[in-house]
Structure 1
Amino acid sequence: MSDTILTLAGVHTHIGEYHILQGVDMQVPRGGLSVLLGRNGAGKTTTLRTIMGLWKASKGKIHFDGRDITAMATPDIAQLGIAYVPESMAIFSDLTVKENLLLAARNGPLDNSRVEWICGFFPALKKFWNYPAGNLSGGQKQMVAIARAIVEPRKLILVDEPTKGLAPAIILSLMAAFNELKASDTTILLVEQNFNFVRKLGDTVAVMDDGRVVHTGGMQALAEDNDLQQHLLGLSLAAHQ
């Protein structure tokens, strides 16, 4: 985590007549897990979508791994080694679990050893390997979405609300997967409302409010400062342990 893999400098995003991001400045260190926190409507999801090129920045610059990606198309951004797991999961419901992963394997056939590694965290994937993904439960669909993002090594994974609606056992598996990804030098930028989850995983944190980043620092420091939590988020993490 000695250098920065992603930088947003003065990023503004308009969606129709709405000015959502209003000058976002943020740096994501390489090789760790950075958490993006904030109240509902603060601009967290818009930030991820703007990084991925799904919504275009109207002002400012986004640099990834030394390259300006501000105006790049989403497929070109993905080719640089960025994966995105949206809150909606966006899986292909009519395709099987296997076919969903095949579509995400840009470099050819599935790597069986990597699939086995992924199924070690999410055994249900193997059980439903040839089932239409649309027939799975919400938690199982989230497993498919995460698996699709990591079916090949990525430099950066953007993940929006991965634990929403998941059973505790699946959250523990997700935590183990993220820890192993961090150990493999994969950088993760995570939007999440489950504070107990992020305080155990997060290395750094950025807090958004009204379309801007209003605080950056270490996750542990924020987790230990109830007054700062109340000031930035209007709640205490201790209530979510």
Structure 2
Amino acid sequence: MSAPLLTMEGVHTHIGHYHILQGVDLTLPRGELTVLLGRNGAGKTTTLRTIINLWQASKGRIVFDGQDITNWRTPRIVRQGIGYVPENMGIFSLLTVQENMRLAAERRHFDTARLDWIFGLFPALKKFWTTPAGLLSGGQKQMLSIARAIIEPRAFLIIDEPSKGLAPAIIKDLVQAIRELKQTDTTILLVEQNFSFARAVGDHVAVMDDGRVVHAGSMSDLADDTELQGRLLGLSLDAHA
């Protein structure tokens, strides 16, 4: 069994006077997708932001591909091949789709083959290539946000709430795109509240509560165990199918 791509060991994060992460232990298997679940306020987004040091860990250790990155600055972490798709998408509304993509590309130049691959994942981006991003639909903006994160090959992709506010038809397309992205051996950490979506793409799951990981295992085991779902999340995944 190969070494995990990323581990968090006893990680604490304070934001102002608030102690958000209270000893997070998390292991991400290389080349697979782990879904981070939990109630609102459990610490999921803080975990993502702490990994890339948008919020500094106050205690503990974060190891990526064998290197301790706990105190690295965000630009250095990103240069290791990490892409981040924030919950607010982070696109530039006044710039065109093309300009948004170019800003994310290394040296502002596109790899034609990779761009064609992305257009295969998200055909709408090719259609609206010269359209200001602010005029796109919510689903198209989410596609652009993910496309920006993967315009360069990434060893590790962090995605926060990709299906939030999207129509079911768009979510279905997003599921297919993420499944295809998984075939590139990219390791993915995904925060998601849509449990049907999470079950469709997840290999592994970690459940957070009160700033800690309280359960970790396979997604299939959690999806098959309604009692465990109720105990960890206060609901059944079947209710959200």
In the TM superposition, what whole-angstrom CA distance separates every residue of 1:116-157 from its partner, at most 9, and x where no partner exists?
211122211111111111222211111110100111110000
> What residue in structure 1 maps to residue 181 of structure 2?
181
Is residue 16 of structure 1 aligned with residue 4 of structure 2? no
| Matches of 1:129 and 1:79, distance apart in 2 | 26
1:113 is the counterpart of 2:120: no
Name the counterpart of 2:78. Answer: 78
Instruction: Mark the CA change 1:204 to 1:138 in structure 2 (over 3 Å): closer, same or farther.
Output: same
Distance in 2 between residues matched to 1:138 and 1:45, nearest whole Å: 20
Percent identity, aligned pairs only, is 68
| Alignment deviations for residues 67-117 of structure 1 (CA, whole Å, 9 cap, x no partner) | 111111111111000010011001111211111111111255111221121
CA distance in 2, matches of 1:126, 1:101: 11
Between the aligned partners of 1:67 and 1:181, the Cα distance in structure 2 is: 25
Deviations 1:154-208 (A, max 9, x none): 0000000001111222222211221122111100000001111111211111000
Q: Secondary structure at the match of 1:59?
A: strand
Residue matched to 1:197: 197
Report the counterpart of residue 140 of structure 1 in structure 2: 140
Please state whether the residue corresponding to 1:185 is helix, strand or coil.
coil
Structure-2 residue corresponding to 1:211: 211
Instruction: Show the counterpart of 1:124.
Output: 124
List aligned pairs for 1:213-232, cutoff 5 A: 213-232=213-232
User: How much does 1:31 deviate?
Assistant: 0.3
Residue 4 of structure 1: SS of its match in structure 2? Answer: coil
> 2: CA distance between counterparts of 1:44 and 1:156?
17
2:53 partner letter = G
> What is the distance in 2 between the residues matched to 1:60 and 1:107?
35
TM-score (norm 1): 0.97
Structure 2 Cα separation of the partners of residues 97 and 187 of structure 1: 26
Which AA in structure 1 matches 2:115? V
Q: Distance in 2 between matches of 1:106 and 1:76?
A: 14
Conserved in 1, the CA contact under 8 Å of 2:161 and 2:193? yes
Q: Which structure 2 residue ranges, 5 or more long, are not aligned?
A: none
Determine the C-alpha separation between the residues in 2 that align with 1:119 and 1:215. 37
Segments of 4+ moved more than 6 angstroms: none
Query: What's 1:42 paired with?
Result: 42
Say what the alpha-carbon RMSD is for the aligned residues: 1.1
